[in-house]
Structure 1
Amino acid sequence: MNRLDEHTESYYAATANDLQEYPCLEGNVEADICIVGGGYTGLSSALHLAERGYRVVILEAKRIGWGASGRNGGHVGVGQRRSQGDLEAMFGFDMAKQLWDLSIDAVQLVESLIVRHRIPCDLKRGIMHLAAKASHDKYLKGETDKLRERYGYRQVEYIEKKEVRELVGSERYLGAQIDFGSLHLHPLNFALGLARAGASAGVHFFERSEVQGYSASSPFTISTARGQVRAEKLILACNGYLGNLESRLAGWIMPINNFVLATEPLPKNLAREIIANDFAVQDTLHVINYWKLSGDNRLIFGGGENYTRRFPEDIRSFVRKYMLRVYPQLENTGVEFGWGGTLAVTMNRMPCMGQLQPGLYYSQGYSGHGVPTATLAGKLLADAIYGESGGYNIFASLPKIDFPGGTLLRWPGLVLGMLYHSLLDKIGR
């Protein structure tokens, strides 16, 4: 069996350190905690629970890191998906500050896991946020001042258009916010490293073991096609791949698809022309463009999304047009990989975490901010099960808002909303 064929044909899968295979669940297994989903949430939960002595089983329908955790842009940014100004308006300053502090914890957790478990994943420091419109430039200036003065975050600064042009080699953007405290990495290798650490701590992984259902109360019996797990507690860590497994969660999230390409390796001078400081980059458009240099000097560029159940037939060409709007100088650069992934957004773009009933935990809806937030969410779920629920309680207290129309009509509603914001992206530069 060609293991690579089971992951999407991405640059990340082609450069994975070790696509370790785990068995399919056969027969009956006993555990303290069963986790459904082998992405960052499930992997982080499993590792932190196993380190505290729990017997943990992960059931993954495909392969570990198969979903968005192994396909994303690899940005590990501070903050939540909503700005601090938005959060202050939504919840007040005290809650906004608690959410900010959790975001710092999330980035620090990712880095500490990489260091502690010696995970080779091309870890680099720094993210730049580029203003695509004059109103966005004004916002970035104000948000930078707010973070420095009101939140005490001194690792961020604002730069003017001339310096932006020198750093990113594009005339498209105005000012920028540079964040020296954020990170970027190879996301699949980070996920695989978490799995190796979990296995060393005693986690039992079962791949190709899609969950078909589970019993109504604890102790839970979780069923797959060829086996069952009996566990006192159950964690649903499915995110954009929840499907029809749990109707009580489905209305709070909307799966959407995002797309990425990887160029051929760039000459060193061209690589430094487009990202002089080797930071990750993202702009302020509603449907953002985001990019970074890989460990071998390829441009990893994400652009465009859709809201159907199908990916574009030619993802490379689909994303390439977004890349060339930013970097016309790459017209003759070869594109070697193009892939897509499914993430989940919430109505308020904030994480959706809690208990559906005693012993049945969930976390989902990271809205494109999943590398740090999902990793932290996994730890917070483990903390809550262990009895240390401070951070968990903050996320669990956030409003859960149903998409209008429920799971049947949420798609057309989202499409109309995204088309409106796409129009705004095109005007008012």
Structure 2
Amino acid sequence: MFQRSLVGSDTQLNRRSYYEASVNRPEPCPALEGAVQADVVVVGAGFAGLSAALEMAQRGLSVVVLEADRVGSGASGRNGGQAIVGYASGQGPFEAQLGAADAQRAWDMSLQALDLMEQRMAAHQIDCDWVRGYVYVADSARKARALRDEVDGLQRRGIPCDWAEGAQVPRLIDSPRYVAAARETRSGHLHPLKYALGLARAAQAAGVRIFEHSPVTALQRGAALVATTPQGLVKARFGVLAGNSMLAQYGPQVAPDIAPRIMPVGTYIVGTAPLDPALCARLIPGNAAVCDNNFVLDYFRFSADLRLLFGGRVSYTTQTPRNLEAVMRQRMGAVFPALKNVPIEHVWGGFVDISMNRAPDFGRLGGNLYYLQGFSGHGVALTGLAGQLVAEAVAGQAGRFDVFARLKHRAFPGGALLRTPSLALGMLWYRLRDAL
């Protein structure tokens, strides 16, 4: 029942996606038929899987990618498009578990992830509307103090920030909701589906074989891996699991040992009709992406064709909230009163993979099966780095990968039956806390 409701609702959530409406997808890749052999089989054609495939093909390995739906059809092609320094968890889990030196290495790698993303755009001519600039905002005095601490931490780590509070806030964002804001130019935003399709083209040009509509329903482990789909199978020496929150839904037996460590969390976005350029320039000077520091946060930006793409609201039950468009319009209007009556032309959403501590969860199952999950809403840049790290590990250079693999992760409490309602109750507490 859980499997059917999540996959069904996830498919419907993408029918009015701005991203899907604003790209010309190539002809579908064929579904896998029959038996094929490769050095590496990658499960999932999102940012992480495509990045891993590209990196390994560039190292001379033969790679097959199996995708249950279409390239970028999951979180990689639906997200808010915000590429951000650091981790959703902050540095806390890294410092507590790894020590100061490796915590600093992890931080440095989050910056390398942004560099790598820009390098791939240039090297493979991926036009995905990339814009640098990021504004962090706070809507109360208490949250402004927390934001100030966060900004001080960014500056200590070499990220210059422009701070504004009170009457100075409109020079960074013209909204009555926020009492403080900070802007940095290391992070930024892009069209995620254009980026995913660009990575797929680059991977195919490097020799990667991509099969769409080919969910992995079983995975035999051992010295040789065998990934089975409804109409075929792949035999490989190495495997990479990059299906994240959807992996367990399409093939529940593929990775039952790691699935309990992530939670599929629904998040939703609306897209307005195109807006007046002067209005956009006034509301968000510099065309930055914006995110508040609430636990249940709002995040938004303007698209290349000047639509406000406004994200927020979450669901820990896998059920789409009722009256979603009206609720999102109300939230958007609270941030920008000038937009509360503009037409909304797109409404979509999907599921992201949240870990218990919100730190990324990378590791091995046996000696030849790797997994990448738990990006917790910070995956736009980090997934690309993850693909590079797993390619290094397969090639015998696992030093950077093992910085993340050493992080310990716990399963969500409550087991298969109770963890969803437990998380829903926990979220109610956080919503009440955000309102204070």
Q: TM-score normalised to the size of structure 1?
A: 0.94
Which of 125, 133, 145 is equivalent to 2:152?
Answer: 145
Counterpart residue identity of residue 369, structure 1: H
Map 1:379-418 → 2, pairs under 5 A: 379-418=388-427
Unaligned stretches of 5+ in structure 2?
1-10
| SS in structure 1 at match of 2:376 | coil
Counterpart residue identity of residue 258, structure 1: T
Map 1:91-170 → 2, pairs under 5 A: 91-149=98-156, 151=157, 153-170=158-175
Match of 2:8 in 1: none
Distance 1:156 1:127 in 2: 10
Which of 277, 281, 292 is equivalent to 1:272?
Answer: 281
Distance 1:171 1:89 in 2: 38
Distance 1:331 1:8 in 2: 23
**CA apart distance, 1:358:** 1.4
What's the CA shift string for 1:86-132, capped at 9, x where partnerless? 75456543333122111101111111111111101100001111012
Map 1:282-293 → 2, pairs under 5 A: 282-293=291-302
1:299 aligns with 2:308: yes
Match of 1:341 in 2: 350
| SS in structure 2 at match of 1:168 | coil
Match of 1:200 in 2: 205
Match of 2:37 in 1: 30
| SS in structure 1 at match of 2:163 | strand
1:242 aligns with 2:247: yes
Match of 1:331 in 2: 340
Which of 175, 181, 196 is equivalent to 1:176?
Answer: 181
**CA apart distance, 1:11:** 0.6
| SS in structure 2 at match of 1:211 | coil
Distance 1:327 1:154 in 2: 28
| SS in structure 2 at match of 1:350 | coil
**CA apart distance, 1:17:** 4.2
Distance 1:20 1:137 in 2: 48
1:82 aligns with 2:89: yes
Which of 185, 190, 200 is equivalent to 1:185?
Answer: 190
What's the CA shift string for 1:211-260, capped at 9, x where partnerless? 11011313111111101111111111011102213110111101110000
For the 8 Å contact 1:7–1:63, the answer to whether it is kept is no
Match of 2:46 in 1: 39
Counterpart residue identity of residue 134, structure 1: A
Q: Would the alpha carbon gap of residues 247 and 86 (structure 1) be closer, same or farther in structure 2, given more than 3 Å must change?
A: closer
Distance 1:420 1:86 in 2: 22
| SS in structure 1 at match of 2:217 | strand
Q: Would the alpha carbon gap of residues 86 and 232 (structure 1) be closer, same or farther in structure 2, given more than 3 Å must change?
A: closer
| SS in structure 2 at match of 1:287 | coil
| SS in structure 1 at match of 2:31 | coil
Q: What is the total number of aligned residue pairs between the two structures?
A: 422
**CA apart distance, 1:311:** 2.0
For the 8 Å contact 1:6–1:63, the answer to whether it is kept is no
Match of 1:14 in 2: 21
| SS in structure 1 at match of 2:178 | coil
Distance 2:107 2:27 in 1: 36
**CA apart distance, 1:349:** 0.3
Which of 205, 222, 225 is equivalent to 1:217?
Answer: 222
Distance 1:250 1:40 in 2: 19
1:353 aligns with 2:362: yes
Counterpart residue identity of residue 246, structure 1: A
CA RMSD of aligned residues (A): 1.8
For the 8 Å contact 2:50–2:203, the answer to whether it is kept is yes
Distance 1:147 1:262 in 2: 30
Counterpart residue identity of residue 40, structure 1: F
**CA apart distance, 1:271:** 1.1
Q: Would the alpha carbon gap of residues 140 and 84 (structure 1) be closer, same or farther in structure 2, given more than 3 Å must change?
A: farther
For the 8 Å contact 1:351–1:364, the answer to whether it is kept is yes
Which of 354, 361, 377 is equivalent to 2:386?
Answer: 377
Distance 1:17 1:117 in 2: 18
**CA apart distance, 1:5:** 9.8
Unaligned stretches of 5+ in structure 1?
none
Which of 410, 428, 431 is equivalent to 1:419?
Answer: 428
- Structure 1 stretch displaced more, 76-85 or 299-308: 76-85
Q: TM-score normalised to the size of structure 2?
A: 0.93
